[in-house]
Structure 1
Amino acid sequence: MQILRWKKDFDSAPKIACLGFFDGLHEGHLKVIDATLAIAKENNLLSLFFTLSESVSDYFKKMNTKLMENKVKQELIATRGFNYYLEGIVNDEFINLTAHQFLTILQEKYGVQKVVVGQDFSFGNQKTGNVETLQEFFGKDNVTIIRRDPTSPASSYIRNLITNNHDLISANKLLAFPYSVTGIVEHGKKLGRTINFPTANIYLPRKCLLPYGVYVSETLINNRSYPSLTSYMVNSKNQEAVETYLIDQKMDLYGQEIRVLFLEYIRPNIKISSIAELSELINGDLNYWKQHYRIPSN
């Protein structure tokens, strides 16, 4: 799969594109994706997956409510068999594009001849573009509209499971990949080391969708998975901090990229008054993991 950069890399070979934000790649999104690939094969067209770097709402509010990291989405789409991946960079210039300007770029610069979208797809400045706009621009025969199954959970429903219900288990079942964050391990206070619970710390540029608290997690390092416990918090430096303890592992990870998959919310963060209290809390979390997640040895 070739990665194209918005308005930097151009390829005018004839293509069919699916258009949308595709946050979480849940069941409804996969119907749009599968239809795109099927039509591409039937019409001997190249396939292009188009998405956004972030939602317009997040851009204005300086938030991060995504269900899936951009890098994870790109990795998953590569496995589906698309020829091209194109991410529209949400900024003032992009937001101010009219619907016609946006479609003209797709057609003239990226060779898009046919499109597949969900029924509620909207685009362009002030969301003035919709499926009717697509039909007028490309022609009705070149626009495939995938109707939404009312019983299929939408992205907003999945977000609510995470933010309000703290239900990562149910949310992850609806996502194409467990909710995760990725970052480079940096130095922290090293408080956990004093009680033999060292953590790998990464810091996020914005508050993410995840509620603050302690989670059962899984950490990917160099394509290998390790069971872990993770605390997400705002630290004393006012940083969005993800602190992960790799169970039964001692590794020097400073400067390395890790991906933390959040599996289950255990409890809120608790203000501690002593190292002994911290040790007791972490041991309690570890016991929970042992009871519910540890694979018994033979």
Structure 2
Amino acid sequence: MELIRGLHNLRDKHRDCVATIGNFDGVHLGHVQILSQVKAKAAELGLPSVVIIFEPQPREFFAGVNAPPRLTRFDEKVRLLRAEGIDRVLCLTFNSRLRSMSADAFVEELLLKGLNVKYFVVGDDFRFGCDRSGDYAMLKQAGDRHDFSVANTETYLIDGERVSSTRIREALMRADFVEAERLLGRPYRVTGRVQHGQKLGRQIGVPTANVRMHRFRCPLQGVYVVEASVGAQCWQGVCNVGMRPTVNGTQPVLEVHLFDFSGNLYGQLMQVKFLHFLRPEVKFSGLDSLKTQINIDKDSARAWLVQQGRVDRQSGSDLI
């Protein structure tokens, strides 16, 4: 799969395609329905399939730190789109210029000059252009004038409710991982590279693998039972997602203590699958109190794993 960053990187070889557009945060089952429609039409027409996404996402541009947390980091979203068999991802920088672009200019610069779209698939609530002035009816009219087809997708429902990133986010915030998995079509995971930290965990006898969140705001916060994998290897453990207030942390971190593990994971890509919520993140009086609580967390996690019949699992066969 080819990742194209920005309109300025489009070339003649990128013209003529079947495309769709959106945030695709989480790449959930509703998104998969849209992607299936795009791939089927692309195969029928003998054209590449293209997904157009934004970075930052529009709500992040407008709301800043008040925007809702993302389900997936950018690179994880790209991996999921690749796994769905999409040929190209075009990432547009959402900035003041794009925000102020009229709906007509959006069609002209992106769909016609940039991609020469032959078939365009949009969600049932898609709006575009300055002040969201463009809609499906406007796209249909533009398609009739410029000889490209526009298709609307039906809302994907589970239990009579629309599958959406918002619905999944709400499930995660209440730690309903079963519901999140139903809506995503896979367990909820966060992926990132293991980086060097302060090594405070090692000092108190509970070493952790740290994944820096950078600008990613995870919808989870607190301490969880998890399964973490690197390649085909999988370990159980406890994970803290948050700011680490006991050590005056200033940046969000995902840190995992792996049961029965010894070794070096620095620089490797780790997937963390969340299974069960243990407790909120708390500021303790010092490292001794923190160590005591972590040991309690470990015992609680092992007890839950035994109760669920998930002990001693070492296979990563079900991982993406």
TM-score normalised to the size of structure 2? 0.82
Match of residue 177 from structure 2: 168
Whole-angstrom distance in 1 between the partners of 2:179 and 2:38: 28
TM superposition shift of 1:35: 0.9
Match of residue 97 from structure 2: 93
Mark the CA change 1:81 to 1:212 in structure 2 (over 3 Å): closer, same or farther.
closer
Mark the CA change 1:166 to 1:153 in structure 2 (over 3 Å): closer, same or farther.
same
Residues 25-34 or 54-63, more deviating: 54-63
Whole-angstrom distance in 2 between the partners of 1:237 and 1:288: 25
Is 1:277 the equivalent of 2:289? yes
Could you list the per-position Cα deviations for residues 234-267 of structure 1 after superposition, in whole angstroms to 9, with x for gaps in the alignment? 2314221222212211233445453433333211
Letter in 1 for 2:206: F
Whole-angstrom distance in 1 between the partners of 2:62 and 2:165: 19
TM superposition shift of 1:141: 7.0
Match of residue 30 from structure 2: 28
Is 1:195 the equivalent of 2:211? no
Number of equivalenced pairs: 295
Mark the CA change 1:261 to 1:60 in structure 2 (over 3 Å): closer, same or farther.
farther
Return the match for 1:130 from 130, 135, 148: 135
Determine helix, strand or coil for the equivalent of 1:62: helix
Is 1:249 the equivalent of 2:249? no
Match of residue 67 from structure 1: 71
TM-score normalised to the size of structure 1? 0.88
Whole-angstrom distance in 2 between the partners of 1:249 and 1:168: 25
Match of residue 228 from structure 1: 237
Mark the CA change 1:59 to 1:261 in structure 2 (over 3 Å): closer, same or farther.
farther
TM superposition shift of 1:209: 3.6
TM superposition shift of 1:296: 4.8
Match of residue 261 from structure 1: 273
Alignment check: 8 A CA contact 1:172 1:179 kept = no
* Unaligned residue ranges in structure 2 (runs of 5+): 314-320
- Tell me the C-alpha RMSD between the 2 structures: 2.5
Alignment check: 8 A CA contact 1:24 1:68 kept = yes
Mark the CA change 1:169 to 1:251 in structure 2 (over 3 Å): closer, same or farther.
farther
Identity fraction in percent:
26
Determine helix, strand or coil for the equivalent of 2:70: coil
Mark the CA change 1:255 to 1:33 in structure 2 (over 3 Å): closer, same or farther.
closer
Match of residue 147 from structure 1: 154
Determine helix, strand or coil for the equivalent of 2:107: helix
Alignment check: 8 A CA contact 2:192 2:212 kept = no
* Unaligned residue ranges in structure 1 (runs of 5+): none
